[in-house]
Structure 1
Amino acid sequence: MASPTLGTPVATMPPPAAAGDRPEFRKRLRRRNLWIYAFLMPTIVLYGLYTLYPMVASYWYSLVEWNGFSAEQRYVGISNYEAVLADPMFWSAVRITVVFMLIVTPLRVMGAFLLALVLNSPRLPFSGFFRTAFFIPVVTTTAIVGVVMRFIFDPANGPPSVVAQFLGLGPVDLLGSSSTALLTSAVVYVWKFFGITLVYWLAALQTIPKDLYEAARIDGAGPVNLFRYITLPMLLPFLLIITILTIEDCFRAFDLMQTMTAGGPYYSTEIIEIFIYRWAFAASIPQLGFASAAAVLFGLLVMVFVIFQVWGLTVSRRMRGQR
């Protein structure tokens, strides 16, 4: 066979097909995706039925007058919103929710920050044990915690009341007094979710390069200067995010508050979620339209903090990028 000469085109073999272009590969990929969607379908269906649909339906229910039992739904427009905004108990629930948030947020953020500084020390023995101990309440069912706390704070046989009687102070009813119920519930809430904020701070501390501390120690910096000039500036972006996340957590205290106080005594612990629950399910004649309007307004309040969270993430990334 004559060899090709200069200028004569040489026949070349086509390049091998890529793995993604092979029919058998595409067939296996479709089969794998089909199984993925099949396993996801129960979650998607349940999430749609019990989360997305109630959220969308609540907007319609907020525009009608409906007791939840009869099939008749009378359209009333924005009358439910006007009634909610004119109800002093709604604004009382808003005030209590804000006070609850102002109690919980500093205790969780600053308390967890100080404890994280201690647990992050490599010289602390059994630091892993202490981290686990503080995180255990997080994985405990919140409703069960609320029920147990009612027994703990029982004015007759609860440990605080027994100790107070032993000291001659008489029985103490921390959950039965309108002056102490909210503060007591807030402290229990802090204890329950303290471990989450602690994990946030521990993760933030791990992002600080150890080389900075070593270089500062070589220059003669002491513990106070290390904390002031390295730790605090490096953690400022995380402080904003952790604070916003903690504030958002305060809007999910229904299960604990409902099992501990159910909004009492004398509505002193009735946060917005319990206010909505009372009108939707606990009233003698449920008013689902009124409760749905309150829920929509509550959702708008939460959306404000979600916007703050997005803004906080942007500012945090910018601050970290400048360092």
Structure 2
Amino acid sequence: MDNAASGGNGRGKRMRIHYQTRKQLWCLLFIAPQLVLFLLFTLYPIIMSYVYAFFDWSGFGRLDDYVGLDNFKETLYDPIFWNAFGNSLSFMLYVVVIQVPLALLMALLLNAQWFKGKTVYRVIYFLPVVTTTAVVGLVMRFIFGAYKGLVNEVLMRLGLLSAPVDFLGSIDTAFFIVVLVGIWKSFGMKLIYWLAAIQSLPKDVFEAAKIDGAGPLQMLRYITVPLLLPVGSVILLMSAVNALHVFDLVKAMTDGGPAFKTDMVDVYIYRYAFSGSGEARVGFASAAGVLYGIVVMIISLALGLFVKLTGGRRNGSV
């Protein structure tokens, strides 16, 4: 009987192992397409960009013209690269400083019990997020265009303009129009993040504060904001990293003009890698991409450390 029992246990164990193995194989089968796409179109290009950066290569032919660090040196001494780099950082700062707190205020308003039509407003604010960025950029070119543009038509009918203004063709207004559209395009996503964070806060804390006589402003200052700080730091991190990559919006709206006023590093890299005039310089563009990637990584690590410290302070205070 002992042998029979041990044999049964052995068969049961083998069946469980066989079941778990089949289950894992099915899981691998389902994630295989996504894994293959990730390896081919994300990981492989990242690795090869580091390789191309050390060669003077146009994207065609053999990879045999090794130039060492020359591409990096040329990038660092190129004033147009630093102009694009400054524009990218400025765009990120404008988006983070304006969009994140504004989305928080709107989320608090939409979460208020007395506010009517919450669902409608949430849909309205989220619609730009699901709209293709390139399409948004093309539409905005017509809206802010000098010839029969919607903005010019409205301002002229109101008597605020006597003649059409080329908002996207002027060095005084182009960058700020791109910033405005960028904030509007991704505003809904930050709004959803804040709403999710607010609705996850413990209600008993607010009820206790209300019983103690705390008013709405006091609860906002001493309860809501401190409890939202860890989540807010994560939203800040995501907003900053996403704002550093605005290729599709800028390419569709201004293509980096006028006079490189809205030129971003993504557009700068594209211009050299897929040049429409002259020979493409994939090696040089790769070097610029590597340098910019290192900067984005440093910013991400710094903000990530801020998120960790913020969460640690909150956990220590609870």
Q: Same fold (TM over 0.5)?
A: yes
**Structure 2 contact 142–150 (Cα < 8 Å) conserved:** no
What does residue 290 of structure 1 align with? Answer: 284
Note if 1:220 corresponds to 2:208: no
CA distance in structure 2 between the partners assigned to 1:109 and 1:147 by the alignment = 25
Residue 251 and residue 21 in structure 1: after superposition, are their counterparts in 2 closer, same or farther (change >3 A)?
A: farther
Q: Secondary structure at the match of 2:167?
A: coil
Pair 1:203-2:196 in alignment: yes
From 99, 106, 109, the equivalent of 1:118 is 109
Give the TM-score taking structure 1 as reference length: 0.90
8 Å Cα contact 1:105-1:247 kept in structure 2: yes
CA distance in 1, matches of 2:92, 2:231: 19
How far is 1:14 from its partner? 4.8
1:183 partner letter? F
SS in 2 for 1:229: helix
Tell me the equivalent position of 1:154.
145
Indicate how the Cα distance of structure 1 residues 156 and 59 shifts in structure 2: closer, same or farther if over 3 A, else same: same
Q: Could you say which residue in structure 1 is the equivalent of 2:57?
A: 66
Q: Greater shift after overlay, 124-133 or 53-62?
A: 124-133
Scaled by the length of structure 2, the TM-score of the pair is 0.92
CA contact (8 A) 1:164 1:172 kept: no
Q: Number of aligned residue pairs: give it.
A: 314
Q: Are residues 1:36 and 2:30 paired? A: no
Which whole-Å CA distance do the structure 1 matches of 2:216 and 2:85 have between them? 43
Across the aligned residues of Structure 1 and Structure 2, the Cα RMSD in angstroms comes to 2.2
Deviation of 1:159 (Å): 0.9
CA contact (8 A) 1:237 1:319 kept: no
Out of 150, 168, 191, the position equivalent to 1:175 is 168
Report the structure, 1 or 2, having the larger helix content: 2
Q: CA deviation at 1:59?
A: 0.7
1:81 aligns to what?
72
1:247 to 240, 264, 271: 240
2:273 maps to a residue whose letter is A
CA drift at 1:233: 1.9
Give the whole-Å Cα distance in 1 for the aligned partners of 2:41 and 2:11.
39
Given residue 33 of structure 2, which amino acid in structure 1 is its aligned partner? P
In structure 2, the CA distance between the partners of 1:18 and 1:321, relative to structure 1 (3 Å rule), is farther
Which of 31, 41, 45 in structure 2 is aligned with 1:54? 45
Q: Which moved more, 1:183-192 or 1:160-169?
A: 160-169
Please tell me the residue identity of whatever aligns with 2:120: F
Change (3 A) 1:233 1:20: farther
Query: Distance in 2 between the 1:42 and 1:197 partners?
Result: 30
Cα offset, 1:112, TM superposition: 0.1
The 1:149–1:307 alpha-carbon spacing in structure 2 relative to 1, beyond 3 Å, is: same
Q: Which moved more, 1:85-94 or 1:139-148?
A: 139-148
Query: Which residue in the other structure is 1:131 paired with?
Result: 122
**Runs (5+) with no aligned partner, structure 1:** 1-10
Quote the offset at 1:18 in angstroms. 6.8
Q: Does the 8 Å CA contact 2:95/2:243 hold for their aligned counterparts? A: yes
Residue 250 to residue 217, structure 1, CA distance change in 2 (3 Å): same
